[in-house]
Copies of this chain bind each other. A is one copy, B any other.
Amino acid sequence: MGKLYVIGIGPGGSEHMTLKARAAIEESNIIVGYIKYIDMIKDLIKDKTIYSNGMMGEEERCREALRLSKDNIVSVISTGDSGIYGMAGLILELADEMERKNIEVIPGVTASSAAASIVGAPLMHDNCNISLSDLMTPYELIKKRVEAAAFADFIISFYNPRSKGRPNYLREAIEIIKKYRNSDTPVAVVKNALRDGEEASLFTLETFDDSIVDMLSIVIVGNSQTYIKGGKMITPRGYFQ
């Protein structure tokens, strides 16, 4: 009888993984994941069989994990939370009734939480996560979401904020937000939060420079109440201060 753990390993540094995620990886004999994520946990999986492929091979990876889970203990790994832009959805979409019985989703610390912890406490009030990747979402819908979130004063965390194929989406999103928020609204860029290569920068909507942003960054735009104090980005809990 097999088992399929769908694991969010958190931001990448092994200490920010949950005890449950670590135990499930240790229990598994096969580990499935994108090659860069496998590398992040290499110290934990030295004696295990690895099935790994490139960024675009997600469906193949999931099918292989499901097949192998019939008579193995398999961990499919995502960074962050497996349930937020991770592998949990595709695994459950592809699973048949028998395979579904073996699946356990193990959540992790999502990238926006990790990024927020580095720069202070920007996510203390209502907030949203928006991916700027248009691979599977029409760009018009992405812009509609940015505008709605700006209008309703959500703190906004951008995932996949910028790539070579779409160098201008982030700048366009910031322009939309500027229609609704003061130019001194804080903006954080965090690259590789809580893992090797961590870098964080604070801007305002006015001074924001998107050239330092890449696919591995998270960009957090504060709400109308967010401020910077002593180098920390803080959103107060309420509107009656």
B20 touching A15, Cβ below 8 Å: yes
Taken together as a complex, chains A and B put the C-alpha atoms of A131 and B155 apart, in Å, by 13
Tell me the A115-152 residues at the B interface (CB within 8 Å): 116-118, 120-131, 135-138, 141-142, 144-145, 147-149, 151-152
Assess whether A16 is interfacial by the CB under 8 Å rule: yes
B22 touching A236, Cβ below 8 Å: no
Tell me the A58-113 residues at the B interface (CB within 8 Å): 81-86, 88-93, 95, 97, 100, 105-110, 113
Taken together as a complex, chains A and B put the C-alpha atoms of A17 and B147 apart, in Å, by 35
| Chain B residues within 8 Å of A153, by CB | 141, 144-145
Q: Chain A at the B interface: mostly helix, strand, loop or mixed? A: mixed
The 17 listed contacts between A and B (C-beta, < 8 Å) are A16-B19, A17-B19, A84-B124, A88-B117, A89-B237, A92-B234, A97-B230, A106-B117, A107-B114, A107-B117, A108-B113, A125-B131, A126-B130, A126-B142, A128-B149, A137-B239, A147-B152
Chain A interface residues toward B at CB < 8 A: 8, 10, 14-20, 22-23, 81-86, 88-93, 95, 97, 100, 105-110, 113-114, 116-118, 120-131, 135-138, 141-142, 144-145, 147-149, 151-154, 194, 229-230, 232, 234-240
